[in-house]
Structure 1
């Protein structure tokens, strides 16, 4: 409404000035324009020019209001700091459904030939935020499992018999599956497949996702790069990815800047699994040491021996 009012006002002013100029051009003495009138005409020309500029500005503002996405520049999006990771717990009711008094069970089927290292790190972080009832089982499709895999979630909780005391159940089943699978509602949920996708789901439970859309996109890109090039790629792909990691870590301590995130967890686990620790560039080695110093990766190293 304000823009329309300004637009009409400017248009009326332009029309009035045009009429005045037409009158001025008709005033003359002996066929010559009076100098005073000529000066007045020049001032009116300047006023008219400014009014046209104002009209163009109003037109541009009106376009922005009526089509807010038409001239959106992605480079102007906020790049403020994301919410600090691992600061608070998530609303489990909104993520996993309303709590009806039963323990929320997260059940993961994984192949012992490819232990999901990043999920073990996330399990350790979840245990710092929630009361988690953890257990490891072996499916009949698997003949034997190394002892470290049987104890990868830590010792059995002394109150494991009282399920009502826990908020989350984290059950890892070693099974002969081609892709890692996860369900938290075993009755009706279609399984989430792939270590990266399950890692994203578990990370949400930590209420640690970046709020900045740019950082969130960067995090997803690093996770996909780690999975498809470090974990599943050949030697050339791994070399290219390590160079990219080294370059990024030369600018900041973590992959997303000053905050440790899921990108660091997945990428570090993929580097460790690929056996690239000693041959990695300097910045990557420093970053891996920083990850180890946090203590979140203590559950991973026994599985790499």
Structure 2
């Protein structure tokens, strides 16, 4: 082994023949391509010298490499398998009597109603009998045209007596609107205090704590017109978040004075309009605040201002939950 080993030769992708002006301050090196072409006997017939780089690129595009063709064939095979999986899933949905989501098209104005069924999954809410989540009843009434929201109540072994409230009992096995997505919320009466819990994933035990935070989650996955985060007015978005946080605080206040202070902070501008935020129709802020007032004791409710009492009665009529 006295000399260098001869390696295999590879045809260059581009034959660049133009001269390049090199700086004189660097050391010079032989042109590897020129040496390669000089040693090849069949360089001129198989690798003609094109006039420009653009022509060489066009030639490569017309005659793709074998690797590119193999990649395209592999992609076509994967797409074919995906279509077969989609057909199998559709057949399974029909066999299990589940609604097949309709494809989203441009005529739906990006309301995402076609994918609503995929976003809605049955969830479990652990609630204390002393702090019933009345906001779920309000959502069921407002979403009636878009989602059949059903409430199924159950009693945990740690609870002796379930809350005697006809509102939740009437929401079980109710008849909803046809051809709309369905969502069942299983309410488990459990001694969790004011920390109402919503279990999103039983496997990972992911929970959302607090009734206002549960409202935030449901508004994001529910009908897009009830998602307050889609409002163009950023001030209203911030105000709704502030009211939801205040409702979270009121539910945990221990004294009557603290509760009245929190209520006054929310209703300071209520007299200027029928609902919170100066709106003509109830929003998620009205739902959260109405639920909190439903949970406070009668002595605290007697000290409410007249405009707050009027607003409370108006919301109770809309949400059809009585007082």
Instruction: Please classify the TM superposition score into its range, dividing by the shorter chain length.
Output: 0.5 to 0.7
SS at match of 1:107: strand
1:265 to 272, 276, 287: 287
The alignment status of 1:247 with 2:271, answered yes or no, reads: no
Cα drift, residue 246 of structure 1 = 4.0
1:110 to 107, 110, 127: 127
Residues 137 and 150, structure 1, Cα contact 8 Å, conserved in 2: no
SS at match of 1:280: coil
* Separation in structure 2 between the aligned mates of residue 170 and residue 145 of structure 1, nearest angstrom: 17
Answer 1 or 2: higher relative contact order, Cα 8 Å, separation at least 6.
1
CA change 1:300–1:224 in 2 (3 A) is: farther
> Once the two structures are superposed, what CA deviation does each residue of 1:109-143 show, in whole Å capped at 9, x if it has no partner?
11222212223322333344213343211122222
CA change 1:222–1:156 in 2 (3 A) is: same
Q: Which moved more, 1:283-292 or 1:193-202?
A: 283-292
Residues 134 and 294, structure 2, Cα contact 8 Å, conserved in 1: no
* Separation in structure 2 between the aligned mates of residue 134 and residue 290 of structure 1, nearest angstrom: 23
- Matching residue of 1:169: 184
* Separation in structure 2 between the aligned mates of residue 132 and residue 155 of structure 1, nearest angstrom: 10
Cα drift, residue 105 of structure 1 = 0.7
> Once the two structures are superposed, what CA deviation does each residue of 1:175-210 show, in whole Å capped at 9, x if it has no partner?
233422112433345111111110211233142133
- Matching residue of 1:224: 245
Residues 246 and 281, structure 1, Cα contact 8 Å, conserved in 2: no
CA change 1:157–1:285 in 2 (3 A) is: closer
CA change 1:132–1:249 in 2 (3 A) is: closer
* Separation in structure 1 between the aligned mates of residue 278 and residue 161 of structure 2, nearest angstrom: 42
Cα drift, residue 291 of structure 1 = 1.1
User: Any stretches of 5+ residues in structure 1 without a counterpart?
Assistant: 1-87
* Separation in structure 1 between the aligned mates of residue 180 and residue 277 of structure 2, nearest angstrom: 36
Give the TM-score, by structure 1 length: 0.57
> Once the two structures are superposed, what CA deviation does each residue of 1:73-113 show, in whole Å capped at 9, x if it has no partner?
xxxxxxxxxxxxxxx9764847x8x47xxx82121111222
Q: How does 1:154-303 map to 2 (within 5 A)?
A: 154-157=171-174, 167-178=182-193, 179-188=195-204, 190-204=206-220, 205-207=222-224, 208-210=226-228, 211=231, 212-229=233-250, 231-258=252-279, 259-274=281-296, 275=298, 276-294=300-318, 296=319, 298-299=320-321, 301=323
- Matching residue of 2:138: 121
Give the number of equivalent residue pairs. 203
Residues 154 and 188, structure 2, Cα contact 8 Å, conserved in 1: yes
- Matching residue of 1:52: none
CA change 1:231–1:266 in 2 (3 A) is: farther
CA change 1:140–1:128 in 2 (3 A) is: farther
The alignment status of 1:130 with 2:147, answered yes or no, reads: yes
CA change 1:273–1:132 in 2 (3 A) is: closer
User: Any stretches of 5+ residues in structure 2 without a counterpart?
Assistant: 1-109
SS at match of 1:217: helix
